[in-house]
A and B are shown apart, each in its own frame.
Chain A
Amino acid sequence: MIGRRGIEVSLAIAEAAKLCRVEVISAYPITPQTHIVEHLSELVADGDLEASYITVESEHSALSACVGAAATGARTFTSSSSQGLELMHEILFVASGMRLPIVMAAANRALSAPLNIWNDHSDVMAARDTGWIMLFCTNGQEALDSIIIAYKIAEDRRVLMPVMVNIDGFTLTHVVEPVEFPAQETVDAFLPPYSPAYTLHPDKPVTMGAYGIPEIYTECKFAQETAMNNSKEVVIEVLDAFGKQFGRPYKVAETYQLEDADVVFIALGAMNENIMTAIDEMRTEEKKAGLVNLRLYRPFPGEELLALLKGKKRIAVVERVMPGGALNSPLFNEITSLAYRSGLTALIKNYVIALGGRDALQSDFRHIFDDMQQASAKDTRIKKGLNFAMIGVRA
């Protein structure tokens, strides 16, 4: 499969894993991720991909199997979503703490209860501080490219960390899009075989995941946090290198109509394309809206975001997850933390939208734009009750 094809994004992601020559796959099917692992199991069963496909009874076991496989030095892939990602939760920390470069495609979906199989970011946000590098994708091409990019980042000796590639469930996973497939040789040249720092092998025994008594645990976690922080430079380097080799340059944060924007939207994932369409529409009416599309969420690219937001007056942080008892949803908390510590004086508001598969409409973004333009400093002060604006709730 080379060149431009119309393909369901889930299948493109599976084909991307094949292009990366993954050696071990362990996953458990869950809507809306199923087509990814289903297609991979077909590729393995048909002999098109030389890999071990470990079938398991749960996501907890799927990621545990991946941890073991990655520890032996195999290039390892998994995919999950929603409740499945939550069931993996404790192993997410094990994978990152053991510094294993597993790549996971997370088909973002709401969490129960109430039971909901549709798209929002509740699942990934519950896993945001598990020590995984996190990328978000806006379209099918980015999804395919991000899998290749993810392995290149994860396996870098300066990084050695798991990477989660977030793809919006249904909105991306189940749509057919034109996707440009690179040649196998191009991917091979970009992504040489994984050369692990340590492997589980009887010829040279090592202990992985050992006990960390109080005398050493702090040092272990500090080393991990430092490595996570340092990985940002590698992410930037890899995105540049990918652009040079494949002709599709990416940045940790992409922008659209940002330069003269009166109101800047910040969002994660596929919703950014809706916002861009809304911006086009608003621009015809002299409404100067702009966008920062955050592609790298962990490690958080503070300096890069600050450079983009410098001098901006009004910022709308649009999120697809409830604060869950926090003052605001996670991205808003980080953007305001950034502002507080850098003298950014913009008026920043938090909008929660499109939960559990509800559409984010053009009219919603127009409403947010108007609301932002009318907002004054007193609207951003902490007040009694909810401190975010809920878009689209029937009241």
Chain B
Amino acid sequence: MAKKVDEIKWHELNIGGVIDEPGSAREYFTGDWRSQRPVWDESRCIKCGVCWMVCPDIAIYQKSDGYFVANYDYSKGCGICAKECPTGAIKMVEEGR
């Protein structure tokens, strides 16, 4: 949708709230639901990609150097990556600290 979600008027909505254009998820930064953020300790990371694989929001990316990082616009801070990391390279850090 061309308009931002908090600018759409009720009569501008499609019937039944149908979204007929792709990519609308880009506009909704669900990352602000997060209370804790995953932080990587690259000295312990073995670049296995388990975090990338288990992230339910597809919010983890591999950098060009092979290490992984979260996109904080979309990471909800669920902590699955930290729980599953086989080397304990990911720590959940409370937001605001």
Within 8 A of B (CB), among A213-246: 213, 215-216, 218-220, 222-223, 226-227
Cα distance A29–B13 in the bound complex, in angstroms: 37
Q: Is the CB of B14 within 8 A of A198?
A: yes
Q: Is the interface of A mostly helix, strand, loop or mixed?
A: loop
Contacts of B22 in A (CB 8 A): 205
Interface size counted on chain B using CB atoms at 8 A: 17
Whether B10 pairs with A219 at a CB distance below 8 angstroms is yes
- In the bound complex, how far is the Cα of B13 from the Cα of A209, in angstroms? 13
Complex interface: chain A residues within 8 A of B19 (CB): 206-207, 210
Q: How far is the CA of A197 from the CA of B24 in the complex (A)?
A: 20
Inter-chain contact A207/B15, CB cutoff 8 Å: no
Answer whether residue B20 sits at the interface, using C-beta atoms and an 8 A cutoff. yes
A217, closest chain B residue (CB): B17
Contact with A along B22-63 (1 / 0, CB 8 A): 101000100000000000000000000000000000000000
Total number of A residues with any Cβ neighbor in B under 8 Å: 26
Is A349 an interface residue, CB under 8 A from the partner?
A: no
B residues less than 8 Å from A227 (CB atoms): 15
Chain A residues with CB under 8 A of B97 = none
Distance in Å from the Cβ of B72 to the closest Cβ of chain A?
A: 18
Is A99 engaged at the interface, CB distance under 8 Å to the other chain?
A: yes
Smallest CB-CB separation from A211: which chain B residue?
B28
- Is B15 within 8 A of A198, CB to CB? yes
Report chain B residues within 8 Å CB of A323: none
Q: Does A392 contact B (CB under 8 A)?
A: no
> Given A215-B5, A222-B10, are A210 and B17 neighbors across the interface (CB < 8 Å)?
yes
Please tell me if A208 contacts chain B, counting CB pairs below 8 Å: yes
CA distance A160 to B16 in the complex (A): 9
Interface residue? B95 (CB, 8 A): no
Is A356 among interface residues, defined by CB-CB distance under 8 A?
no
B13 touches A198 (CB 8 A): no
User: Chain B residues near A198 (CB, 8 Å)?
Assistant: 14-16, 18, 20
Residue numbers in A under 8 Å from B10 (CB-CB): 218-220, 222-223, 226
Residue positions of A touching B, CB distance < 8 A: 97-100, 160, 197-198, 204-213, 215-216, 218-220, 222-223, 226-227
Other A-B pairs, 9, CB within 8 Å; known A211-B28, A220-B10, A226-B10: A98-B17, A99-B15, A197-B15, A198-B16, A206-B19, A215-B5, A216-B8, A216-B13, A223-B11
